[in-house]
Amino acid sequence: MDENLFWPKGGIVFRCLTRHLFNSFVFLCCLIQPLAADSQEIKTLTFATPQYHPLTLLGYEIISEAYQNIGYQVAIDYYPHERALYMSNSGQVDGELGRVGSIDPNYENLLRVPVSFLSLKMNSVSMKNASRRETQLPELKQFRVGLIRGSKFLEYLFTDSDTILTQNTGQLLRLLKKGRVDYAIADTILVEVELAKGKLDKKLFDSYTLPDLTSPIFHFLHKRHQSLVPLIHAELLKMKQNGRIAALEQNFMACVRKGRLQFPDREHPGYSCPPMITANLSH
């Protein structure tokens, strides 16, 4: 028996409804597919930085979190100091992870994000049993001072002082311990790293930050990313005001003081401090 005798109109309606649903499904798939692809595609920005300083690890943590909050990933490439600037200015990378203060105006393609997110600090280190503890630059110049060779700015500041130059922070602190100098002037982080090694008794030393020698660190973007400057500026400012940057810095310093900082080697060109983030390299 022909079923259409009983449901002739129902069959036609069912077939039309099925075709309509199928067409709607195809249309929705066409809409969703590019949206899904867009949501999965996250841009990666690569920044240049010198390799020599542990502060690059903390800088990476701060900058990478700030960019993650606005939808970007961050990778870093390590270069010598001047080469890093060349790579950033030429546009072969997307900018500089961090630089002290301003840079040479010849690097005209680099835009400074106008909020400092870190500071490079210098400490005055003396023996605990010292009769005097000077923390002001003019007074320090009157004493025997130890510096690390190559710190041109410090060498210039102490031109008229009785200075001894050493190769690294460890040598500098040993010189101080032997009484060859009255004060050692050195990078705050590098002093902490050296004392964390345990080769020198940290209880023997007093260390004070020198306000006159504190330099703000800024992030720089290549000018092709000009539209990102206000976005990342707002994000860094928010992280600074809500205490997030201070928390990351505190975590980093705790890691350093516990002696967990791992130095660069052939397999790992950047610093790391487990369980902190290890800097994501672009190659």
Question: Per-residue pLDDT tens for 195-252?
Answer: 988 888 888 999 889 988 888 999 999 999 999 999 999 999 999 999 999 999 999 9
Examine domains 44-118+216-257 and 122-213 and report if their fold is the same: yes
CA pair distance 128, 207, nearest whole angstrom: 9
**Residue 98: which residues within 8 A CB-CB, separation 6 or more?**
49, 55, 56, 59, 63, 117, 118, 217, 218, 219
Domain boundaries of the chain, sorted by first residue: 44-118+216-257, 122-213
Q: Domain 122-213, CATH 3.30.200.210 — does that match?
A: no
Q: Identify whether the C-beta of residue 96 lies closer than 8 Å to the C-beta of residue 88.
A: yes
Q: pLDDT band at residue 131, thresholds of 50, 70 and 90?
A: low
CA pair distance 68, 235, nearest whole angstrom: 10
What pLDDT sits at residue 41?
67
Tokens of 265: 């080697």
State the pTM of this model: 0.76
CA pair distance 88, 221, nearest whole angstrom: 8
Least confident of 36-40, 145-149, 197-201, 203-207: 36-40
Phi, psi (rounded to 5 degrees) for 228: -85, -20
pLDDT at 81 over 90: no
CA pair distance 27, 19, nearest whole angstrom: 12
Greatest mean pLDDT among 40-44, 136-140, 226-230, 279-283 lies in 226-230
- Give the tens place of pLDDT for each residue, 42-51: 799 999 998 7
Greatest mean pLDDT among 92-96, 192-196, 253-257 lies in 92-96
Q: Identify whether the C-beta of residue 260 lies closer than 8 Å to the C-beta of residue 274.
A: yes
pLDDT at 281 over 50: no
Least confident of 4-13, 84-93, 137-146, 195-204: 4-13
Fold category of 44-118+216-257 in CATH: D-Maltodextrin-Binding Protein; domain 2 (3.40.190)
